[in-house]
């Protein structure tokens, strides 16, 4: 278990001791947590939960002895990068990678996990502390591509609800998918038989949770249903009744790319039932 350094900090100035120890150890600054090896079964569970494949690049922030990265490379064929501020840990990780025969797929960086470049990661593994997860959170959301996955042992991300929580005995694991930015006003037309049916969609977003309403051709404003955002994939339904009281449901399934959503539409019920395509664009 990694934990905060305690003891005589309360008696003497933390800043003074930290400065002295950092200089004496040749570190840029003291590690944020005390290193203790993560049990291998925890490593295996986290990588399985993150659905790691050979196409992934796994980053371990605070990599310790490198076992997350080495296991990802050896078991799944993934590429990996371990980041640790302690040169002793980096050297140990590199040596273990040599012993495991995976040096062609992994590398270890002596650096600060709060400043080192992470945008190439498709999977992030964390075993830090609650406050460190929260400090990292803005970087993860801003720098990682939508669809990238994060898995954390023991500690969550505050009010960013996990997509999945798994409890095994006394162990808790958290899993998130980086959501695309979908908040704002989107406009599109669906080409249905006799003409285009224009839509305006207003979306509000809280991490991966979305809600909103559409305004359709006749000026009807309808709240969207079954909204789900997973990475860059957005799904929702629009349900309403025709003038003849016939129920119509329109299912939208799209991929978000910047200010564009492109995908398929399925209409059930009414005179225009069928499958169509849609491309929405966000207002500036």
pLDDT in tens, 145-184: 999 999 999 999 999 999 999 999 999 999 999 999 999 9
Mean pLDDT of 264-281: 91
For 209-219, write each residue's pLDDT tens digit: 999 999 987 67
184-282 folds as: Lipocalin (2.40.128)
**What pLDDT is attached to residue 3?**
37
**What pLDDT is attached to residue 192?**
66
**What pLDDT is attached to residue 6?**
32
8-177 folds as: Rossmann fold (3.40.50)
**What pLDDT is attached to residue 32?**
61
Domain borders along the chain are: 8-177, 184-282
| Confidence check: pLDDT of 4 > 90 | no
**What pLDDT is attached to residue 28?**
57
Mean pLDDT of 82-89: 96
Give how far Cα 82 sits from Cα of 71, 79, 118, 180, 230, Å: 12, 10, 10, 26, 26
**Are the CB atoms for 262 and 253 separated by under 8 Å?**
no
- CB burial of residue 184 (10 Å; 0-12, 13-18, 19+): middle
For 178-197, write each residue's pLDDT tens digit: 999 999 999 998 776 556 77
Mean pLDDT of 131-151: 97
**Separation between Cα atoms, residue 18 and residue 14, nearest integer Å:** 6
For 13-46, write each residue's pLDDT tens digit: 333 333 333 434 444 565 566 677 889 999 999 9
How are the residues of the chain apportioned to helix, strand and coil, as percentages rounded to the nearest 5? Answer: 20, 40, 40
- For the whole model, what pTM was predicted? 0.85
Nearest residue to 226 (alpha-carbon basis) of 216, 215, 212, 247: 212
**Separation between Cα atoms, residue 84 and residue 62, nearest integer Å:** 5
């Amino acid at each position: 278990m990694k934990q905060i350094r305690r003891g005589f900090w309360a008696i003497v100035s933390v800043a003074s001791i930290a400065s002295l120890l950092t200089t004496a150890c040749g570190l840029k600054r003291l590690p944020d947590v005390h290193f203790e090896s993560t049990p291998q079964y925890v490593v295996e569970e986290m990588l399985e939960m993150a659905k790691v494949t050979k196409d992934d690049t796994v980053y371990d922030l605070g990599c310790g002895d490198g076992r997350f990265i080495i296991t990802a490379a050896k078991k799944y064929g993934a590429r990996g990068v371990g980041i640790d501020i302690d040169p002793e840990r980096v050297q140990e990780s590199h040596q273990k990678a040599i012993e495991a025969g995976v040096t062609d797929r992994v590398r270890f960086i002596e650096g600060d996990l709060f400043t080192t470049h992470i945008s190439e990661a498709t999977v992030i593994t964390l075993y830090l502390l609650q406050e460190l997860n929260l400090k990292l959170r803005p970087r993860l959301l801003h720098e990682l591509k939508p669809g990238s996955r994060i898995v954390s042992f023991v500690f969550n991300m505050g009010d960013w609800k996990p997509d999945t929580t798994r409890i095994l005995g006394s162990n808790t694991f958290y899993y998130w998918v980086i959501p695309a930015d979908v908040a704002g006003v989107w406009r599109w037309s669906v080409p249905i038989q006799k003409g285009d049916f224009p839509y305006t969609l207003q979306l509000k977003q809280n991490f991966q949770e979305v809600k909103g309403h559409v305004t359709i051709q006749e000026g009807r404003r309808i709240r969207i249903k079954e909204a789900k955002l997973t990475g860059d994939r957005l799904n929702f339904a629009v349900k309403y009744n025709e003038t003849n009281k016939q129920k119509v449901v329109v299912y939208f399934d799209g991929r978000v790319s910047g200010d564009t959503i492109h995908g398929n539409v399925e209409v059930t019920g009414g005179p225009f039932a069928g499958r169509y395509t849609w491309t929405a664009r966000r207002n500036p």
